[in-house]
Structure formats: structure tokens, C-alpha cells
Chain A
């Protein structure tokens, strides 16, 4: 089934996978002794496969954006390993690296920032086609036009520069660029947050169509629970670098088991309910050597036991929670009818 270890898989074989195992990333001064704060990404594992959509949910400081950079090898990990088709990103040959770059793409949050102001939109997409060296220059132009059509953009858009194009159209162009290399896996960092609500659905619909047609795998990083509900089968909730809960979307939304998950769902005003605050305080910076639950100071369920290290425990076959009081959380959620 899988290709032999160390050789790159051609992109249209369905065994493409991107795996992160116990990945750790710290920020702070290296080489000057003490690293002062806790890791930005702390022992996170996630696995992307074609055809599946995983959502990572979290707010600022959760480490979700850092994780996307690590997965795309834009920064190196401090511990743990990320491997593409079984080969660690640190140890790839240039050919493997090429296959990796072709198969895994990233769509950014701010469409304006993701395009070079000096290039035309078409020029940017052509630049993204540099990974397709099987194409001649003229073929690349043609593919560019096809991509435009695929995302519903007027081909004349190719001549414009980013300042002349609206946010919604730019995000489509960003999708076109991500699709240019014919990837199998796409990481999306807040793909609709910068867009007007009435057109977010356009991008989501496009994404779902592409996934259906080309069996793409998505990792959607977002804080928007509605987007999660529309796109993802599986959710991971992150807080201050750790995964605090994960499981199937339906389950998590109906019966959250971690207090932070619950507060996110409440605040997300699903069904247009009024936004309710169920948690106090804000994200704090914690000392590096603190081992206990990171949500402790804001948690309405906190007890002294929470100051001890909390494991990501298995509760059901496919659900994990990092909270020893998960049963209480779940029952409270049921009482207040969080749907």
C-alpha cells in the first residue's frame, strides 16, 4: 500500500499523508540560557489525509497558527517530528522536498497580505506553478486561466494587482494559487475570517466542491465554530499550545467535555443566539515550568487538583479530553442545552 520508506509518492496516489507527532515549538531567546515562557506548541499530534477535514479551533495564543507554519515547514520544530509520507521534513532529499511542496499547500487568513503587491494576480499564480515543471510556459498560462475559471474569477482579474481586487476575490485567487500545484492536502488558516459574512459561504462551497472532486484533505484552523460545523468531521481544540479536546465534530459541539470548549461554543453564538460569557479573565502568560492545567485561572470548574499535570485522556473511542472533570462539564452542558 504505502510507498517504500524514503521514496516520494507521486501526488495522485491516495497514500499521501502529513503527520505531526508530539511536536513542540518554543519561542524565546535561544542560546542565551533560559527560555522564559511555556511552549507555543506543546506536544501536539495531528495527521492529515486526503478526503478528510480536520479543524483546529483556538483563540490567540493557542498555537494554531504556529502549527500551520510548522506543518508547512516554514519554521522548524524544537522537538517531535513532522513527516510527509513517512519521511521526516528535516531529512528530506531535494526530490522529496519537491514532492512535499507540491502536495501540501497553505491558504492564509488575510487575502491582501498573501499576494505580492508588485506582481499581478496572474503573475502570482504563475509563480505558484513553478512546481509544475512538467508544463511549458504556454501550458502554464492555460492552466492559470483554467484555475481562474475553477474558482469563479473573471480571467481579466489576472492583470490586476492586489490593491485593485476585493477581499472575496482575492481569497478565491488564493485558493486558485493553492490548487495550482495540484496538492492533495491543504492547510487553511482562518480562510473566511477576513471576509464579509454574506460571501463566506462562497469560499466554503468552493472548498467543499474541490474536496469532493479531487479528494483533498483539509486542515482548517479557525476560531469560527460555524465554519467547523460546515466543513470538519473531526475537531481539535487548542489552548495555550496544548490540545485540550478532540473528537468528532458533532459530538464535540453537542456534548463538549472541556470547560474551554464549552466557553468557545457559548461565545460562538451558533444559531444566532446571543453571545454569552461563561469564562472570566483572559489568556495569560504562564511560566515555563508550570505543569498543571493551563486553563486553570479562568475555569469555572477549577479545583486544586488541576494544578497537577493533566493528560490528554481517552474518554471514548475517538474522543480525548484534557480535563479530569469532564463528566461534570458534559452534564452541565447538557443542562443548559448547548446545541
Chain B
């Protein structure tokens, strides 16, 4: 039943807004400027890294896993840009291939953490009561142990492979997102637009899905990059002590480990280049996360 235009004609003048740029709106170029600022240098770095990971075979010349003892410990040169390591493998090639493992395991595990933690967090905020209290205790338990320690125990017990590692890191990340989504969703329960949605007939699942969860996206997204940064450092740290990724799979942490013995002898390149890679990735991810968060705050 649509409104009758005749009825509309009876509406007396109600002060039409003056035609001019609306308050606070962004012109096209301003939006572009904003996007460029947010996704600038750190994003470029990550983009390069991702492309490197995908197109690894195209940008490297050597085999990343086959040793060649004749070529061991050659310094950086025209043929071996980052030199070779103690097994004679080209460091540059291994750094590039390691990007695959590091980025994908980190991203997958953090995503797993988000998928596990967010809905539970939203549900805990929405239902409250014993469920919320119980989830609080569970997250406290998980978070009270140092990650490395849990990782060592679990990997030793359940098998030292990438799948276990990913699942483990996912579970370790879940509490962060549970708490984050919960803390965003809690004050939302009483905010006016949620009440308005309930007045429009939303409840339970439709409310969570349409109104509450989308508002948790931004903090989750900015936390995502930062979690990835931590995950990469954790992966690198674990393989440094021999857990997680196994030899001869290229992984930044294990490469740093292998090369560590040779720094004393002046052969810095097997450790330093993967180290730079870890640093650059973690830094870019953290910067990106911070930028997204700051951009969201300005709204």
C-alpha cells in the first residue's frame, strides 16, 4: 500500500535544505586521498611480499630445497644476490619461498582465530549470564600460558607439522578476537540504533548478523594485521627452536637459526636477510593495522 500523492500534496512547506555540499561529505578526490593514505607504504610492502610468494618460481632461479655443497657459504654476488647458506642453497630463493609458508600459515591461523572467536564473543555479549562468564574463564585459561610453551607442548604431543601448527595458532588467537568482539558488542546492546533495529522487528540472529557483527568488522580488521605480525614472529621463533616447519622447508626463522652459527665467522648473509624479511613483514602488518584503526577512529 503505497502513499497517495494526493496526501503528499497537503504537506505544507517544511524548509527544504539549501542545496550545497552536505556537511562532512567527501569529494571523489578526498576519498581517493584517504584510501591512498591508509593503504600506502605498508600495504605496498605486503603486496610485494604476497606477489613474491605467489610468483616465487618466476622470480627465482635456484631450487630452494636441494643442497649443493660445492656452493656453500658464498657471499652475495651477481649470481647469488643474497649469497648461499651452509647447505649451498641460494638464500634469496629460500627467502622468497619462505614467504609462502610464513604468510600463509600466519594468515590462515589468524583467520581461524577470527572465525572461532568472533561469533562466540558476539554471542557471549548478547546472551550474557553463565555463558559469558564461562567464556571469560576459558579465555583466561588459554591466555595465561605463554604461547611458546603451549606451542612446544602441543607440537611435541600432536605432531610437528604445519597443519597442527596452524590449528594451534588459530586456537591461540581466538581469545583475542573473542574478547574484542565481545567488548565492541556489549555497549552496542543499548545503543539507540540497535534498539531501533529491534523496534523494526530484528531479534537474535538477524540482529547479530545485520547490525552487531558488521560494527565489529573494523576493529577486527585492524587487529588482523597485527595478529599476523605476531603469528609470523611466533612461527619464526618456533622454527628457530626446531618446531613447526621442518628442515629443509625454507622458513625465515629456521633460516635465521641455521645461519646464526656463522655470524661469528663473518658470514652474516644467511641470517640477516631472512631476519630483514621477518622484520619488514611484521612492521608492514603492524603499520597497516594501526592505519586502519586510526582511520576508523576519525570517523
Contacts and interface: CB of A to CB of B under 8 A. Distances in A.
Given a CB threshold of 8 Å, the question of whether A touches B is answered with yes
B30 to A, nearest CB: 12
B214 interface: yes
Nearest to A140: B2
Interface in B1-54: 1-3, 7-8, 10-12, 14-17, 22-25
B198 interface: yes
Interface string A143-167: 1001101111110010010011110
B210 interface: yes
**Closest 7 interchain pairs by CB?**
A152-B14, A114-B192, A113-B192, A108-B192, A128-B200, A146-B3, A164-B25
Given A113-B191, A142-B2, A131 B201 contact: yes
9 contacts: A101-B200, A106-B196, A113-B191, A116-B197, A116-B214, A117-B215, A124-B196, A130-B201, A130-B202
Contacts of A166: 22-23
Contacts of A330: none
B137 to A, nearest CB: 19
B3 A150 contact: yes
A149 B8 CA distance: 8
A115 interface: yes
B72 interface: no
A180 B2 CA distance: 11
B22 A165 contact: yes
A98 B199 CA distance: 10
Contacts of A124: 193, 196
A205 interface: yes
A146 B23 CA distance: 23
B67 to A, nearest CB: 54
Given A116-B197, A142-B2, A181-B200, A154 B8 contact: no
B155 to A, nearest CB: 40
B293 to A, nearest CB: 16
B14 A202 contact: yes
B214 A118 contact: yes
Contact of A98 (B191, B201, B217): B201
Interface in A172-186: 174, 177, 180-182
Contacts of B217: 118
A180 B197 CA distance: 13
A101 B201 contact: yes
A146 B7 CA distance: 11
A101 B215 contact: no
Given A117-B299, A146-B3, A209-B12, A72 B193 contact: no
Contact of A160 (B7, B11, B25, B299): B25
A163 B14 CA distance: 23
Interface in B165-208: 191-193, 195-202
